[in-house]
Chains A and B, each alone.
Chain A
Amino acid sequence: MRIPVKKSTSLLGVAALAASLSLTACGGDSGGSDNGNTVTIWSSIDQPVQDGLLKALEAKVGSDIKIDWKKVENINQLIMTKIQAGDTPDIAFIPQPGVVKDMVSLDAIKPLDDVVPQADQDSMIPGTLDAGTVDGKLYGLLVSANVKGLIFYPKKAWEAKGWPTEVASIDELNQLTETIKADGETPWCMGIESDTATGWPATDWFETLVAKYGGVDEYNSWVAGDTKFDSDIVKQAAAEFEQLMFTDGNVLGGREAIASTNFGTAGNPMFDAKPGCWMYNQGSFITGFFPDEIKSDLDANVGVMGFPPATAGGDNPVIGGGDMATLLNDSDNAKKVMAALAATDIGNDAAGSSSFISPHSDFDPANYADETSRSYAKVASESTGFLFDGSDQMPGEVGAGTFWKDMTAWISGQEDLDTALKNIDASWPS
């Protein structure tokens, strides 16, 4: 390492070059513009939904405000990083209420109570405002909703079998499962594999069952962490899940296949010439994953029924999710855009061309492209309460961590139910 001092001139060039490289590396361009009348929006919404919303939004706010709507990967993670880096959009669409809470605790977003017209708040389906409300103030406004706990079936083959297209209670659903099995068929399609998010479809099942058995209050208490996972209500949900999913012959591929089957393709065997399985309980967005020839005529190919209430005619809340608009910058233009997003008719374009479902109860069902979408919207508007996806509301450690992972471990046989439930309870941050 002894370098003769005289050679220093050539070294000087090399060193300067190296140093300049490290300097230029810092000179990237930064997003988030404040220039005049542009309002930036970030979201991870499906492209067709975004396109439809943007079209209606541009028509509403006129040409004075320019909308710069960017589709980003995984907004939940990105927005937290960007807030800490101080590089944020004016409006961000957040799918997870837990993240909205975190954003509030970082003082990154503004309350919407005075931004969103009262009439537009009143027209929301009961329960849809709760998820975005923190300490009594509205911070996240549901703009695009999805409905979960929908049982899809292959319409043509199903009707040929003559099985009922409506079940009134969970007991009837169990009976239907037995009927299908007695016919020599496999009743359920099931898959919870979803790359790094493996396990979430199982949590949706649990949320649906807890809501149906326990009702709105019990559900909210569970989501808030007051009712433990290691409790009677969750165990009741688990017992029903176990009966439907773990009983021999109930699920295509058996219990072991559940954790290795992708949620997106799990329902596809329903549409084989001889259906491999007959019912798939998923969210409204799942039709986007169905084979192209099925998607081209959903109404003719796919039947839908809502997951039944615990007892016929009883309390029947529905689980759903969606993207909530949050306001990171309270400039007048950003507020105007926010108010426009809150209007019922913002979804008029998106409803006809995408999987969009309006969270407003006065939304005109004629806007939806097909009967299938109208039936989801009906499930939502006829429910006794719209409950936001529980795992999305729980703290990240639980809702996107142990709840997914321990359900996966239980289903694939690595853990017994008690261990799984206790582990989830233990991971709840104090």
Chain B
Amino acid sequence: MLGKALTALVTVLIGIGGALAVYYLLNKIAELMPERWEARIKPYLYILPAFLAITLYLIYPAVLTVINSFKDRFSREWVGTENYTELLSSPAFRDTLFNTLLWILIVPAVTVVLGLVVATLADRLQPTGEKLAKTIIFLPMAISMVGAATIWRFVYYAAPAGQEQIGLQNALLGVFGKDPVAWLQQSQFHLNSLLLMVVLLWSQIGFSMVLLSAAVKGVPVDTLEAARIDGASERQIFFRVVVPQIKGTIITVFITVTIGVMKIFDIVYVMTNGNFNTNVLGNEFFNQFATNFNSGAAAAIVVMLMVAVVPIMWYQVRHFKAEEANA
């Protein structure tokens, strides 16, 4: 134990010392330059280590992933586009794509709408009531996704008819004398996928509510008063005065949740592992990588995800720049 603590301490000291030395050296190099050049070149030298770190930990693995997606399961032989064609020609993978699309279409929109509804309604409560309501809705944010999924498995749990129902929903059905329903197996109209989405909504609406609530409170009161004096109804005020003024926050929340949903994994893995037609890309990636040991297919899935995320990122950066320009 002591040995480990000592090792840790020495490592930290060497780490800090080394980093200080590097920056000291970079500083010295910059100071060697003529004064005009020193000011110009110093920021670049300071940013260099961070840049190298990003290259090493982010860009290099990304490039490697793209390369591996054209190689075989052990990343040894080139196989051309086989990983992609095999995935895309499998009906199970097409179902997976469709399910992921459903998540992307439904979850961000519902998160924003419900978050906005809660933020607006809570704004009209007494301060104590508002705090209480917001705290309760924000609480699930503090639970890890795996924890949330485990909790919700109990909500949907089904024991054979006649046995004691420890799942919340089936216990309720039992009160009304109904037979238990195996909720997570109900794949008609993707009901079970929707039930999984409920878990993410439950844990994410707090996030959306907090950001949107701050935005709603930031709407200048005089614009609201002006609208009222002009005879606008509450509904008109909300859609024509409040919403346009918080549009930036709405878009930010929407994009953040969308990116989160595209990578969704934990909930599906814990609750169904993609069975009963609930599979999504994140889970399929994990299974290809960790169950099938097929690095090629796993990399191909990641590349598809990367490609799908790029337009959203691009939009977000553009939106961010536009916001900054306005500010």
Interface on A for B, CB 8 Å cutoff? 3, 5, 8, 11-13, 15-24, 27, 29, 77, 80, 102, 105-106, 195-199, 252-254, 256-257, 259-261, 269, 276, 395-397, 400-402, 405, 408-409, 412-414, 423, 426-427, 429
Contacts of B277 in A (CB 8 A): 409, 414
Q: Are A261 and B160 in contact (CB under 8 A)?
A: yes
Q: Which residue of A lies closest to B183 (CB)?
A: A260
Chain B residue with the shortest CB-CB distance to A13 = B20
Bound Cα distance from A427 to B92, whole angstroms: 10
Q: B158 near A: Cβ within 8 Å?
A: yes
- State whether A27 touches B162 (Cβ < 8 A): no
Q: Which of A8, A16, A408 contacts B276 (CB 8 A)?
A: A408
CB of A195 within 8 A of CB of B273, answer yes
Q: A198-B275, A253-B159, A257-B182 are in contact. Are A15 and B12 (CB under 8 A)?
A: no
Listed by A's residue number, 16 A-B pairs whose Cβ atoms lie within 8 Å are A5-B42, A12-B46, A15-B23, A15-B49, A16-B20, A20-B16, A197-B273, A252-B162, A253-B159, A257-B159, A269-B163, A395-B292, A405-B92, A409-B277, A413-B185, A426-B90
Tell whether, in the assembled complex, residue A401 and residue B91 are in contact, meaning their CB atoms are under 8 Å apart: no
* Chain B interface, >50% SS class: helix
Total count of chain B residues near the partner, CB < 8 A: 53
When chains A and B are docked, how far (Å) is the Cα of A429 from the Cα of B86?
Answer: 10
State how many angstroms separate the Cβ of B159 from the closest Cβ of chain A: 7
Is there an interface contact between B12 and A24, defined as CB atoms closer than 8 Å? yes
Are B163 and A17 in contact, with the CB atoms below 8 A? no
Q: Do A15 and B46 touch (CB < 8 A)?
A: yes
Task: Say whether B293 contacts A16, CB under 8 Å.
Answer: no
Q: Is the CB of B15 within 8 A of A24?
A: yes
Residues A20 and B19 in contact, CB atoms below 8 Å apart? yes
Q: A15-B23, A405-B275 are in contact. List 18 more A-B contacts (CB 8 A).
A: A12-B24, A12-B27, A16-B16, A17-B16, A23-B18, A195-B273, A196-B270, A197-B273, A198-B272, A198-B275, A253-B163, A257-B180, A276-B160, A395-B292, A401-B292, A412-B275, A414-B277, A423-B91
Scoring A20, A102, A395, A401 by chain B CB atoms within 10 A of each residue's CB, the highest score goes to A20
Instruction: Determine the residue in chain A with the shortest Cβ distance to B42.
Output: A5
Evaluate contact between A257 and B158: CB separation under 8 angstroms: yes
The verdict on A254 contacting B42 (CB below 8 Å), with A16-B16, A196-B273, A409-B275 known, is no
Q: CB of B121 within 8 A of chain A?
A: no
A-B CB contacts (within 8 Å), total count: 142
Q: Distance (Å) between the CB of A246 and the closest chain B CB? A: 15
Tell whether, in the assembled complex, residue B23 and residue A12 are in contact, meaning their CB atoms are under 8 Å apart.
yes
B291 touches A396 (CB 8 A): yes
Q: Is B294 an interface residue (CB 8 A)?
A: yes
Asked whether A400 lies within 8 Å of B291 as measured between CB atoms, the reply is: yes
Q: Mark B160-204, 1 if CB is under 8 A from A, else 0.
A: 111100000000000000001010110100000000000000000
| B interface list, Cβ under 8 A from A | 4, 7-8, 11-12, 15-20, 22-24, 27, 39, 42-43, 46, 49-50, 53, 73-74, 90-92, 157-163, 180, 182, 184-185, 187, 269-270, 272-277, 287, 290-294
Distance, CA A405 to CA B92, complexed state (A): 10
Q: Which among B4, B22, B74, B163 is the interface contact of A276 at CB below 8 angstroms?
A: B163
CB-defined contacts of B185 to chain A, threshold 8 Å: 256, 259-260, 412-414
Indicate if the CB atoms of B161 and A257 lie closer than 8 Å.
yes
Tell me the bound Cα distance from A412 to B184 in angstroms: 10
* Contact between chains at B184 and A23 (CB < 8 Å): no
Do B293 and A80 touch (CB < 8 A)? Answer: yes
**Would A254 and B161 be within 8 Å (CB), given that A19-B22, A414-B276 are in contact?**
yes
State in angstroms the CA–CA spacing of A15 and B48 once bound together: 11
Is A401 within 8 A of B287, CB to CB? yes
Partner of B275, one of A27, A276, A396, A408: A408
Partner of A8, one of B8, B18, B46, B74: B46
